[in-house]
């Protein structure tokens, strides 16, 4: 653990100096400020932001995570030759990516909220930031998993872009197809299970359950609300998102520990 923290300190220092992060922070600051500029309705601003959170954050986390993994391949190789556990190198690098993206989000979303937001918006803003951090960690873990599994950067990038397309774009279409095709059958529970398999659906459900905007919740969100009450639904979605955090993380670490470099 001690070794992990030491490596994390230096890898985070390296990544904090990256210009991409400044752009990422500025993007959220401008977006947040822009949304406030166009409307003063806090709910509308939050809903617009939720769509961005569930589209941009996973894409950036996946691509940035994958690029960091492959751009650090010589460093990773060198670190493995040092008296350090492979596990420590993996945990430190993976955590560094999640950490610096999360700090960017915290500044990019938090600072405009402090300046432009109202007191009533604080709980929702905190929830958006918290969920965004969790989504960042989930998708950074998937990026590192892809890096650990494939030695080929292009193949790993193709895989993570497909993952993003699948969860952010195709998944809702598949659920819609299933619900339309099997509308005569009791498919609520299968659809609920199906939505739990998509971390972005889970993040969306958490945020929309808080806003309680049923029109935007979609089929799966409405199902969550009917099966669980608001708080229970959010808790269940959080737990499932934690499973999404854990599985790629442990899977990636297992592969990394055993693979050839």
Please give the residue ranges that form the binding site for other proteins (CB under 8 A). 3, 6-7, 9-11, 13-18, 71-72, 74-75, 77-85, 258, 260-261
Pick between residue 93 and residue 109 the one whose CB is nearest to other proteins. 93
For residue 232, the minimal CB distance to other proteins (Å) is 44
Pick between residue 103 and residue 187 the one whose CB is nearest to other proteins. 103
Pick between residue 66 and residue 198 the one whose CB is nearest to other proteins. 66
For residue 248, the minimal CB distance to other proteins (Å) is 23
Q: Where are the alpha helices (DSSP H) in 17-121?
A: 19-38, 42-53, 56-71, 73-80, 86-116
For residue 97, the minimal CB distance to other proteins (Å) is 13
CA distances from 239 to 18, 50, 140, 146, 211 (A): 32, 19, 18, 23, 19
Distance of alpha carbon 56 from the chain centroid? 9
Which helix H or strand E contains 213, and what residues bound it? none
Pick between residue 15 and residue 217 the one whose CB is nearest to other proteins. 15
Q: What is the dihedral of CA 169, 171, 176, 181, to 10 degrees?
A: 130
Q: Is 17 helix (H, G, I), strand (E, B) or coil?
A: coil
For residue 75, the minimal CB distance to other proteins (Å) is 5
d(CA 251, CA 144): 10
CA distances from 118 to 43, 114, 121, 195 (A): 12, 8, 5, 33
Give the relative orientation of helices 153-165 and 122-149 as an angle to the nearest 10 degrees. Answer: 140
Pick between residue 119 and residue 258 the one whose CB is nearest to other proteins. 258
Pick between residue 184 and residue 260 the one whose CB is nearest to other proteins. 260
For residue 24, the minimal CB distance to other proteins (Å) is 16
Pick between residue 89 and residue 241 the one whose CB is nearest to other proteins. 89
For residue 110, the minimal CB distance to other proteins (Å) is 24
Give the relative orientation of helices 122-149 and 42-53 as an angle to the nearest 10 degrees. Answer: 0
For residue 172, the minimal CB distance to other proteins (Å) is 38
Q: Which of 206, 18, 188, 207 is nearest to 97 (CA)?
A: 18
């Amino acid at each position: 653990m001690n070794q992990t923290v030491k490596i994390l300190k230096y890898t985070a220092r390296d990544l904090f100096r990256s210009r991409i992060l400044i752009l990422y922070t500025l993007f959220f600051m401008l977006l947040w400020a822009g949304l406030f500029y166009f409307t003063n309705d806090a709910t509308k601003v939050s809903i617009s932001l939720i769509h961005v959170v569930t589209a941009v954050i996973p894409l950036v986390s996946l691509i940035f995570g994958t690029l960091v993994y492959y751009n650090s391949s010589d460093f990773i190789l060198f670190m493995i030759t040092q008296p350090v556990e492979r596990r420590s190198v993996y945990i430190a690098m993976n955590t560094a990516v999640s950490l610096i993206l999360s700090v960017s989000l915290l500044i990019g979303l938090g600072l405009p909220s402090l300046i432009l937001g109202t007191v009533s918006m604080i709980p929702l803003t905190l929830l958006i930031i918290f969920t965004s951090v969790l989504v960042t960690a989930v998708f950074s873990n998937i990026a590192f998993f892809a890096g650990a599994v494939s030695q080929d950067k292009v193949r790993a990038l193709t895989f993570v872009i497909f993952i993003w397309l699948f969860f952010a774009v195709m998944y809702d279409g598949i659920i819609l197809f299933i619900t339309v095709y099997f509308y005569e059958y009791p498919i609520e529970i299968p659809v609920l299970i199906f939505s739990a398999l998509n971390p972005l659906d889970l993040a969306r459900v958490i945020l929309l359950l808080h806003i309680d905007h049923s029109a935007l919740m979609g089929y799966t969100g409405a199902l969550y609300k009917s099966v669980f009450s608001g708080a229970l639904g959010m808790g269940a979605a959080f737990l499932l998102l934690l499973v999404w955090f854990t599985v790629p993380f442990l899977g990636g670490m297992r592969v990394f520990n055993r693979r050839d470099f």
